[in-house]
Amino acid sequence: MTTSLLLLLGVFQLVVVAEGREKKGALLSNFQGLAKCRYDQRVAFPRTEEELKRILLRRDVKVIRAVSSDAHSWNEKFWCARTTDEEEEEERNVNIFMNEVRVVEEEQSRARVFDKRELKAKVTVDAGEKMRTMLEYVAEEGYALKSVPWFIDQTVGGALATCSHGSSLAFGSLSSQLVSLRTMLHNGTVETISERTHGRDVMDAFRCHVNQLGITLAATFEIFKQDEVHRMNRFVSEDHMLQEIEMISAAVRRCVDNGMDWWHSCAMRRSAVRNMDDLSYYYYVPTRDAQRVKIRRVITDFSKRTSGDDDDDDDDDDDANEDDFLFSSSSSPARVLDEYYFKASSVDAASASAQSVLNPSSIRNRLMQNDDLVSVWTNLWQDALEPSLQSIVASNASAYLAMTEEQLDRNDNYPFDQAELAVPLANAGECLRGFLDSISEQRQKYWRSPILIRFLNAESALLSPAHARPSMYVNIENYKRSEEGKAAFRDAIRYLASKEKCDGRLHFGKFGWEDVETYSLYEKYGNAYCKFLCVKDRYDPSRRFETREMSRIFERDLDKCLPRACD
């Protein structure tokens, strides 16, 4: 039956259509036509820094959001430039699509590897380039990122803006691997932001800035030499998974009071914690089964993994001459403004394929909504994920957990909402056990795809959901279109976010920001939230990159921040 369903459901691509100078429908939504912008606005498709600057400095432009086409966002409050009808006419709100902006000068690529050492190097890549393409280029050069997100068909700039991550207690998210950012600020000037040149607080604000501090043009990451990696996949019971996570929670709690460096001096010395490094769980709700997928690297010495053998290089070279291979403004011919800057409509005028994806009467959506097929869907997901999860010995690029292009095509066919929350590792076991108990009555009803559970070390990025606390990330999806299905999904998010139960922090690029009146960034992030606002005052004093909805979320706790937060 699984094979028959796969043949029946088929695969097709979502196509974005243009009508003259006006782009419609699909452009003002995510890759499936969901998370739609409800109000007309303007869009821009620059190719150079000069074209981007020209739009940024227009007097009639007030709010700018840097985005990408086929965006993988479920949070229109942060994605759309115009988020409410309270804002001015659509001409003053612009979504700038960064996919075509070229910064890195390289004939066959939009990335360049440089500063090559024995074990590591750096790579600079255009913010509008897809992660997948960058990873392929870096692999061809014999290098790899230290950890990668599951979804790699997002742009580098988008992944950085929301702290996209894999599962790594040693290396953290993509933002923790960042060396510097080339950024266009609110006044059109361009700066390369790094910790060495701008200080730790500023860099930590830019590491995960939700596109509120400027427009990212290019990013530089530290990469390391490819080595052999073992990916080990086995099915375990729900009890096995919960007990393992409860063991790491207990180990972390015992270490917390050991001083400032308790993570390295205590937690990472305990086998229960080390065993969770590079570990992911795919938990199938209807059957209570879990796939435990572990990446084991050749380099097992933690000190070597975090620093490398050749760290005697001069830190002043962190930004080693990356400007030497950037495009100049004269490298592309000038275009007339209306070639890349025009009005967009929010009306439902999506392409035929997008309409098919969203059509509730289509056979694939009717099958997805049928609760009698819940076990079939579980089997389908297990089969579909097998290429990414199966046990292998391969290079980093081939073994890391990432969605394949075939999986991406299938993923496009079914409308869904995705949410993710980061729970403190110290109470992850208790939280997860309680959460799974809370959805026990819904096991055969609402759940289709597996819950993805990953682990991240504490991060310095001020708005990282794992800021200052090692975390368990819980990723959940909702394919049910009924009101009761949507309500159950929102209840699941509230449970994970609840201070009393899990104290989870929401992912900035995903679903769950409906309860903005009750979700306090100050309560979740404390002084880090205040420090971010200080950096925001400095780098975007006129709030060019903040929508009205974002203002409601980010400014509501401003009075709780003390003046010394900016010291």
pLDDT, tens digit, 9 for 90 and up, residues 21-53: 344 444 677 777 777 777 778 889 999 999 999
Residue 232 has pLDDT above 90, yes or no: yes
What whole-number distance in Å separates Cα of residue 254 and Cα of residue 262? 10
Nearest to 131 by CA among 545, 387, 394, 408: 408
Q: State the average pLDDT over residues 196-225.
A: 96
310 vs 1, residue with greater confidence: 310
pLDDT tens track for 483-511: 989 999 999 999 999 999 999 999 999 99
pLDDT tens track for 74-130: 888 888 888 766 655 666 889 999 999 999 877 778 899 999 988 999 999 999 999
Do the domains 104-226 and 21-97 match in fold?
Answer: no
What whole-number distance in Å separates Cα of residue 87 and Cα of residue 100? 28
What does pLDDT average to over the chain?
84
Decide: 530 and 561 in contact? Cβ < 8 Å. yes
* Confidence band of 324 (pLDDT split at 50, 70, 90): low
pLDDT at position 271: 86
pLDDT at position 298: 64
Give this prediction's pTM.
Answer: 0.90
Helices H / strands E in the chain, number of each: 21, 20
Quote the percentage of the chain above a pLDDT of 70: 83
pLDDT tens track for 63-76: 888 887 767 788 88
DSSP string, 473-516: EEEEEE---SHHHHHHHHHHHHHHH-TTTT-PEEPTTSS-TT-T
Q: State the average pLDDT over residues 147-152.
A: 91
Tell me how far CA of residue 176 lies from CA of 147, 169, 397, 400, in angstroms: 10, 12, 19, 17
Tell me how far CA of residue 116 lies from CA of 21, 51, 79, 312, in angstroms: 45, 33, 37, 14
* Confidence band of 354 (pLDDT split at 50, 70, 90): low
What whole-number distance in Å separates Cα of residue 475 and Cα of residue 422? 9
Nearest to 411 by CA among 64, 11, 19, 75: 11
pLDDT at position 503: 96
pLDDT tens track for 402-460: 888 888 877 777 888 999 999 999 999 999 999 999 998 877 788 999 999 999 999 99
Decide: 180 and 507 in contact? Cβ < 8 Å. no
Nearest to 368 by CA among 261, 265, 451, 479: 479
pLDDT tens track for 158-173: 999 999 999 999 999 9
Decide: 377 and 368 in contact? Cβ < 8 Å. yes
Decide: 432 and 453 in contact? Cβ < 8 Å. yes
Amino acid type, 348? D
pLDDT at position 345: 66
Q: State the average pLDDT over residues 342-361.
A: 61
The answer to which of 196-210, 267-281, 508-522 has the lowest mean pLDDT is: 508-522
pLDDT at position 135: 94
What whole-number distance in Å separates Cα of residue 461 and Cα of residue 72? 22
pLDDT at position 328: 54
In whole angstroms, what separates CA 89 from the centre of its chain?
31
259 phi-psi bin (left φ>0, alpha ψ -120 to 50, beta other): left
Residue 384 has pLDDT above 80, yes or no: yes
432-446: buried (b, 16+ CB within 10 Å) or exposed (e) per residue? Answer: bbebbeebeebeeeb
284-317: buried (b, 16+ CB within 10 Å) or exposed (e) per residue? Answer: bbbbebbbbbbbebeeeeeeebeebeeeeeeeee
Decide: 353 and 15 in contact? Cβ < 8 Å. yes
The CATH architecture that domain 21-97 belongs to is 2-Layer Sandwich (3.30)
Residue 325 has pLDDT above 90, yes or no: no
What whole-number distance in Å separates Cα of residue 437 and Cα of residue 495? 11
DSSP label at residue 414: S
Q: State the average pLDDT over residues 244-261.
A: 85
Indicate the CATH number for domain 228-299+366-514.
Answer: 3.30.70.2520
pLDDT at position 196: 96
pLDDT at position 327: 61
The CATH architecture that domain 104-226 belongs to is 2-Layer Sandwich (3.30)
Residue 563 has pLDDT above 90, yes or no: no
Half-sphere exposure of 58 (CA within 13 A, CB side): 19
Q: Which sequence spans correspond to the domains of the chain? A: 21-97, 104-226, 228-299+366-514
pLDDT at position 386: 92
Nearest to 35 by CA among 22, 43, 26: 26
pLDDT at position 349: 45
The answer to which of 52-66, 298-312, 331-345, 403-417 has the lowest mean pLDDT is: 298-312
3-state secondary structure 240-275: HHHHHHHHHHHHHHHHHHHCCCHHHHCHHHCHHHHC
Sole residue written with tokens 């950890």 = 147
The answer to which of 179-193, 340-354, 539-553 has the lowest mean pLDDT is: 340-354
